[in-house]
Amino acid sequence: MANQRRFTDMLADSMPKLVLAPSFLIVMVCIYGYILWTVALSFTKSRMLPQWKFVGFDQYNKLLNNDRWAVSSENLVVFGGLFIIICLVIGIGMAILLDQKIRQEGLLRTIYLYPMAISFIVTGTAWKWLLNPSMGIQKIVREWGFEDFTFDWLVNSEMVVFCLVIAAVWQSSGFVMALFLAGLRGVDSEMIKAAQLDGASMPTIYRRIILPTLKPVFFSAFVILSHIAIKSFDLVTALTGGGPGYSSDLPANFMYAHAFTRSQMGLGAASGVMMLGGVLAILIPYLYSELRGKKQ
Amino acid sequence: MKKTYNLSYSANGTKNLSLLGSVKDKANRYLQQRSIVQHLLRILLYSVLLFMALIYLLPLLVMVMNSLKDVEEIRNGSLLALPKDPSLAAWAKAWGSACTGSTCEGIAPFFINSFKIVLPAVAISTILGALNGYVLSMWRFKGSDLFFGLLLFGCFIPFQVVLIPMAMTLGWLGLASSASGLILVHVIYGMAFTTLFFRNYYVGLPRELISAAKIDGAGFFLIFWRIILPLSPPIIVVTVIWQFTQIWNDFLFGVVFSGADNLPVTVALNNLVNTSFGGKEYNVDMAAALLAALPTIVVYVFAGKYFVRGLSAGAVKGA
d(CA B90, CA B93): 5
Work out the percent of chain A whose per-residue pLDDT is above 90: 33
B202 and A76 Cβ atoms separated by less than 8 Å: no
Each residue of A236-259: pLDDT tens digit?
999 988 878 888 899 999 999 998
| Whether residue B10 is found in the same domain as residue B98 | no
* B167/B290 same-domain check: yes
Identify which of B144, B251, B255 has the shortest CB distance to residue A119: B251
Cβ distance B314 to B233 under 8 Å? no
Q: How high is the pLDDT of residue A217?
A: 85
DSSP assignment of B105-154 equals S-SHHHHHHHHHHHHHHHHHHHHHHHHHHHHHHHS--TTHHHHHHHHHHH
In whole angstroms, what separates CA A246 from the centre of its chain? 21
- A 28-57 residues inside an 8 A Cβ radius of B: 28, 30-35, 37-38, 41, 50
Q: What is the 3-state secondary structure (H, E, C) of B29-81?
A: HHHHHHHHHHHHHHHHHHHHHHHHHHHHHHHHHHHHHHHCCCHHHHHHCCCCC
Q: Which domain range does residue B45 map to? A: 2-58
List of domains in chain A: 1-33 (no CATH), 60-295 (1.10.3720.10)
Record: contact B296-A127, CB cut-off 8 A: no
Nearest residue of chain A to residue B271 (CA atoms):
A238
B7–chain A nearest CA distance, Å: 36
The number of folded domains in chain B is 2
Do B130 and B263 belong to one domain? Answer: yes
Nearest CB among A37, A116, A252 relative to B160 is that of: A252
B52 and B98 housed in the same domain: no
**B204 and B313 together in one domain:** yes
Check residue B190 and give its pLDDT.
92
Closest Cα in chain B, distance from residue A131 (Å): 11
- Clarify whether residues B295 and B156 are in a common domain: yes
Convert the pLDDT of each residue in B110-148 to its tens digit. Answer: 999 999 999 999 999 999 999 999 999 888 888 888 999
In a domain, B74, yes or no: no
HEC letters along A49-91: CCCCCECCCHHHHHHHCCHHHHHHHHHHHHHHHHHHHHHHHHH
CA distance B156 to A219: 14
CB contact under 8 A, A276 and B78: no
Q: Up-side HSE of residue B90: CA atoms within 13 Å toward CB? A: 28
What is the mean pLDDT of the segment spanning A157-176?
91
Q: Of residues A6 and A62, which shows the higher confidence score?
A: A62
Do B242 and B303 fall into the same domain? Answer: yes
Domain membership of residue B174 (yes or no) is: yes
Q: Is residue B84 part of a domain?
A: no
Residue of B nearest to A186 (CA): B312
d(CA B196, CA B315) in angstroms, rounded, equals 8
Express each pLDDT in A104-158 by its tens digit.
888 888 889 889 889 999 999 899 888 888 888 888 888 888 888 888 888 888 8
B81 within domain boundaries: no
Q: Which residues of B36-74 are buried (b: 16+ CB within 10 A; e: fewer)?
A: eeeeeeeeeebeebeebbeebebbbebbebbbbbeeebb
> Residue B174 is part of a domain; what is its CATH number?
1.10.3720.10
The pLDDT value recorded for residue B3 is 42
In a domain, B68, yes or no: no
With contacts defined as CB-CB under 8 Å, which chain B residues touch A20?
132, 135-136, 144, 147
A27: distance to nearest CA of chain B, Å?
A: 7
Chain B residues with beta carbon closer than 8 angstroms to that of A41: 164-165
Contact between residue A238 and residue A121 where contact means Cβ atoms under 8 Å apart:
yes
Distance from CA of A257 to the nearest CA of B (A): 11
Say if B75 falls within a structural domain.
no
What is the DSSP track for B235-285? HHHHHHHHHHHHHHT--HHHHHHB-GGG--HHHHHHHHHH--SSS--HHHH
In A, which residues are within 8 Å of B234 by CB distance?
none
Shortest CA distance from A284: residue in chain B: B153
Q: Are residues B129 and B11 in the same domain?
A: no
Instruction: Find the residue in A nearest to B286 (Cα).
Output: A126
Q: Is residue B201 part of a domain?
A: yes
Contacts of B189 (CB under 8 A, 6+ apart): A30, B154, B159, B162, B253
8 Å CB contact of A126 and B60: yes
Q: Residues B111, B216: one domain?
A: yes
pLDDT exceeds 60 at position A199? yes
What local confidence, expressed as pLDDT, does residue B51 receive? 94
Q: Return the pLDDT at A2.
A: 60
Any domain includes B78: no
**Which tens digit of pLDDT belongs to each residue from A203-241?**
888 888 888 888 888 888 888 898 888 878 999 999 988
Whether ipTM tops 0.90, in short, is no
Query: Within this chain, do residues B193 and B271 fall inside the same structural domain, yes or no?
Result: yes
Shortest Cα–Cα distance, B56 to chain A (Å): 6
Do B186 and B37 fall into the same domain? no
The pLDDT score that the predictor gives to residue B37 is: 85
CA atoms within 13 A on the CB side of B301: 8
Residue of chain A minimizing CA distance to B313: A182
Q: B43 with B93, same domain? A: no
For residue B258, report the phi and psi dihedrals to the nearest 5 degrees.
-95, 155
Is the pLDDT higher at A57 or at B166?
Answer: B166
Q: Which residues of chain B have pLDDT under 50?
A: 1-15, 315-319
Final residue belonging to a domain, choices B41, B58, B75: B58
